[in-house]
Structures are given as structure tokens and as C-alpha cells.
Amino acid sequence: MSVPEPRVLRLCAAADVAPGAARRFVVDGVGICLVRCADGFHAVADTCSHEDYSLAEGEVDAERAEIECWKHGSLFSLVTGESLTLPATRPVAVYEVAVDNDDVSVVLP
């Protein structure tokens, strides 16, 4: 039985996401929240683990690599996906980001 290869899917050019900004993408039916932090790009599942709202519309803390859900204020680590504050109690998925020259891609398992 063969193991499926991870898929590397281009999201945008690096310049398309300003430092400290978040942007939502849908690739292969998966909603991705791409965030540009002080330490580089991070990608997590775009849907908050509390309710069905887009994390990409939340406020970014670029120094701490965190994003705050705009709806009820849960804070998520963009490094681990962990929910750091209530009301969300479950993590969001974290995806590997590949930056090649000016291309920013997400790696989907």
C-alpha cells in the first residue's frame, strides 16, 4: 500500500502578505490562515476551533506568533496551534510553510 505524498501548494507571493497581516486561502477545499510574523510565515487551519469563524480576520501579534479570534477573543499559537485562552479549548491544525524565493506555499499532508 502506498503512502500519499504531501502536497506543496503555492498560496501567494511573499509580498502579498504584509508583516503582521493574516490572509485566508482555500486550497484543495482546505481553509488556510497564512500569517506573516516576525519569525516568518505560519499557516494554521482558518476555522476557529470554537465556532465556524475565520481566524484570518483576527488580530495578529507578530512578535509572539499568535492570532486572536475576532469573534470571541480566543488566542491561538501560530507555532503549535494550541488555544491559549477560552472559550476555545481545542487546537487548530498547523501546516508547514515552504518559502522558495518569492513563492509562499503550504504543505498539506
Contact between 56 and ligand FES per CB under 6 A: no
**∠ Cα 50 55 59 (to 5°):** 115
Contact between 48 and ligand FES per CB under 6 A: yes
In whole angstroms, what is the distance from residue 8 CA to residue 91 CA? 23
Shorter beta-carbon distance to ligand FES: residue 75 or 97: 75
Contact between 88 and ligand FES per CB under 6 A: yes
**Residue 70 · residue 58 · CB < 8 Å:** yes
Binding residues for ligand FES (CB under 6 A): 48, 50-51, 53, 69, 71-72, 74, 87-88
